[in-house]
């Protein structure tokens, strides 16, 4: 299935620019429409504080200052988005079935970011999110969780720096689980366009399920030639070993399943998934 619609949540941080640049590259590759959604706090929430907390005059002044600051921030975010579209030759316009190339749209919304991301992502072929840092706040963590686990759609995590290419050399992290199978399904459209594909597996990483060789046979039925390579953990970490193997292949896209621990909201993501999200220097396509 071709990729025709991208969702790009924006948070007003420098990481937004890389996420938009990554999404723009995907949009031009697939001639897709990307929707950049900017979240902002409505002034009504300030006015709702009430005179029992602050004097009415102070509340009104706070609301006016917030409105002015919000307008400035929104204008800056919209300008950066338009600049990114222009740099990739993407027309800024609403989605249209008659469009012949990539297009981009800037949308404003209020409310809880995680709920909005989950709902909007359900009608997008792919959600593009910024690279995860170890100190990212709970708002971004909840949005990431919503996109991965509450949308039913794949997520592309942007690298720390804008990529030069996406999907020409693809690695698939395979351990036989349903989650890794979901990752394969999400990356399948990309595999048909790739120049080279490698399945990465490891003895300590594999769970009960089909072996990597069986995956290669399955992909062959889809006219995708994939080689299988065993990798070893590094620094006692499967995730670090996986990323090293992808780097050795010269991959510009890593596809894998997403895994959560019970205390997800406290630990963000556990094990291999979190290591990859924090340390990956290439785009990572995840699916649950």
pLDDT, mean of residues 205-211:
86
Cα–Cα distance for residue pair 146/115, rounded to 1 Å? 7
Beta carbons within 8 Å of 117's beta carbon, 6+ residues apart: 7, 9, 37, 127, 143, 146, 147, 151
Answer whether residue 171 shows pLDDT above 80: yes
Residue 234 has pLDDT above 70, yes or no: yes
Q: What angle do CA 275, 174, 128 make, to 5 degrees?
A: 55
Residue 262 has pLDDT above 60, yes or no: no
Structure tokens at 59: 């509340």
Question: Is CATH 1.20.1050.10 the right assignment for the domain spanning 5-42+73-157?
Answer: no
Which stretch of 38-52, 91-105, 118-132, 170-184 has the lowest confidence by average pLDDT?
Answer: 38-52
* pLDDT at 196 exceeding the cut of 90: yes
> CA distances (Å), 204 to each of 50, 174, 207, 240, 272, in order?
57, 12, 8, 13, 12
* Start-end of CATH 3.40.50.620 domains in the chain: 5-42+73-157, 169-287
- CA–CA gap between residue 286 and residue 256 (Å, rounded): 5
pLDDT number for residue 263: 40
Segment 11-31, tens digit of pLDDT: 877 888 899 999 999 999 999
pLDDT at residue 58 tops 70: no
The arrangement of secondary structure in 169-287, i.e. its CATH architecture, is: 3-Layer(aba) Sandwich (3.40)
Span 168-191, average pLDDT: 95
Q: Which residue has the higher pLDDT, 233 or 220?
A: 220
């Amino acid at each position: 299935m071709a990729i025709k619609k991208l969702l790009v949540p924006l948070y007003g941080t420098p990481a937004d620019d890389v996420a938009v640049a990554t999404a723009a590259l995907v949009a031009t590759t697939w001639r897709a429409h990307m929707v950049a959604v900017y979240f902002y706090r409505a002034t009504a929430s300030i006015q709702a504080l009430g005179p029992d907390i602050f004097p009415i005059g102070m509340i009104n002044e706070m609301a006016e200052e917030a409105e002015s600051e919000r307008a400035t921030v929104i204008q800056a975010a919209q300008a950066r988005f338009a600049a990114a579209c222009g740099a990739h030759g993407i027309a800024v316009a609403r989605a249209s079935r008659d469009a012949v190339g990539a297009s981009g749209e800037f949308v404003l919304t209020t409310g809880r970011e995680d709920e909005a991301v989950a709902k909007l992502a359900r009608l997008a072929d792919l959600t593009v999110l910024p690279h995860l840092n170890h100190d990212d706040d709970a708002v971004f963590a909840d949005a990431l969780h919503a996109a991965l686990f509450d949308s039913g759609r794949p997520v592309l995590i942007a690298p720390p720096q804008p990529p030069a290419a996406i999907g020409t050399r693809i690695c698939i992290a395979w351990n036989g689980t349903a989650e890794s199978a979901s990752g394969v399904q999400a990356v399948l459209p990309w595999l048909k366009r790739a120049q080279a594909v490698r399945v990465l597996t490891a003895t300590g990483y594999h769970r009960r399920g089909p072996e990597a060789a069986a995956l290669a046979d399955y992909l062959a039925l889809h006219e995708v030639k994939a080689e299988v390579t065993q990798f070893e953990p590094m620094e006692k970490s499967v995730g670090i070993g996986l990323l090293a193997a992808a780097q050795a292949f010269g991959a510009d896209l890593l596809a894998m399943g997403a895994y959560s621990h019970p205390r997800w909201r406290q630990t963000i993501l556990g094990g291999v998934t979190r290591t990859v999200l924090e340390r990956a220097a290439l785009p990572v396509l995840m699916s649950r």
